[in-house]
Amino acid sequence: MSELDEVIKNIKNQNSVRKGNDGKYIFPRLKSGILSLDIALAGGLTLSNAHLIYGEKSSGKTTLYTLFIKQAQRMFPDKKAFIMDIEGTYNTKYAQKLGVDLDRLYINTPESGEEAVDIFDGVCRADDVSIIVVDSLAMLTPTKEIEKSAVDSIVAEQARLIGRMYRKAVNALTTERLRGHLPCVIHINQFRTKVGVMFGDPRTLPGGRAPEYCTSHNILMKNKEHMVDKGDYAGFVDYNEHSFHITKDKTGGRIKEGAFKLIRDKDITGLPECYIDQTKTIITQGCLAGLVEKAGSFITLDGKKFQGVDKVTEFFIENPDKQEALQDAIVDYYVKKWDV
C-alpha cells in the first residue's frame, strides 16, 4: 500500500476522495429549450452545481430561469421545482404560458435573509426537488437591516449573508451528490450603481465575489423590445429579442454569445404568445450538423420538404416533440464534436 493509500484509508469520510475517472461525477445537463444557449452551454447547465443569471431590469432573467424550470419538470416528472421569490413578484400565470406545471412548482417568500438561507439549505437536501431558484440575491435582506433604523449603516452585512448562502450551497450539493441527488441551483442577481464613480463601469453586483467564484456558469442577459411602429398595433410589443453572454463557463463550451426571440403578441405575429421563434437558428445549425438539408428556399427535415422558413415554423408549432428531438440531436452533435 502506497503512502497516499494509507492517508486515504485514514480519512473519516471515504466518499470524499475519488479518482479522476469516476464517472459518477460527470453530471447530466439541464437544457433550456433555447438552441443557441444550449449549444453555448455545451448541452445545458450541469446538475449538482450552482449557476448565476444576472443583468439589468427586464433583461429576461425571469423568463430564462422559468424555461429551465419547465425543462427540469420534463426531465424529472416525479420531482418538484422550488422558487425562493424574495422579491415577491413572480407571476405564475406567465410561468404557465411558458409551459411550467404549477402543480409541481413551490414558491416561498422568506421574511428575512437568514430565514432564506436556512430554507435554501433545507430545500437543497430534499431529494424530491430537481431545481432551486433564488430570485434575487440583491433583495436578500439581513435581519439587522430590517430591525434597525433606516439611518443606521450596516457595512457589507448583505455580502456576508450572500457568501454564507453560497457556502451552504456548496456543502449541501457536495453532500447530496453522494446519495445520488443532483439538484440544479440557479441564483439571480441584478446590477446596482456605485456611488461617485466618474470613470469606468459604474455597475456592480451585490454580494461581493462569492456569486462569481462559486458557480459553474455565469450568464449575463440583455433585452431589446421590438415595437410595432404603424397600423392598428402601433406601440404594441411585437417580440422581445433576448441576448445572452456567458461570462463564466467551467464545462468546456466554445460559444459565448447568442440571442433568441420571444413572441409577445399572437395577433401581430400569428405565432403563439410566449413562443420562442428559433426556426432560423435550427435550420442553420441543423445544416451544419448534417441533420437538415437546404436548397434555395426548400428545406428538408424529418423526411419532409418545406418551402420557406414559415412552413417549417408551422410544422414545429404543430409538432413540438419533433422540434425538441431535432434540437437535442443538434446539441448532441456539438457535445460530441467538442468532446465535453
Q: In this model, does residue 153 exceed pLDDT 70?
A: no
**Structural domain boundaries, residue 205:** 27-277
Q: 211: which 3 cell numbers?
A: 456569486
pTM above 0.75, yes or no: yes
> Of 157, 137, 162, nearest to 53 (Cα)?
137
Give yes or no: residues 51 and 143 share one domain: yes
Residue at which a domain ends, from 260, 277, 294: 277
**Domain holding 293: CATH number?**
3.30.250.10
- Domain end point (choices 277, 301, 327): 277
**8 belongs to a structural domain:** no
Percent of the chain exceeding pLDDT 90 equals 74
User: Closest Cα to residue 40, out of 254, 324, 222?
Assistant: 254
How would you write 257-311 as a 3-class SS string? Answer: EEEEEEECCHHHHCCCCCCEECHHHHHHHHHHCCCCEEECCEEEECCEEEECHHH
Q: Is the pLDDT of residue 1 over 80?
A: no
Q: Where does a domain end: 277, 296, 314?
A: 277
Instruction: Give residue-wise pLDDT tens across range 207-220.
Output: 888 888 899 999 99
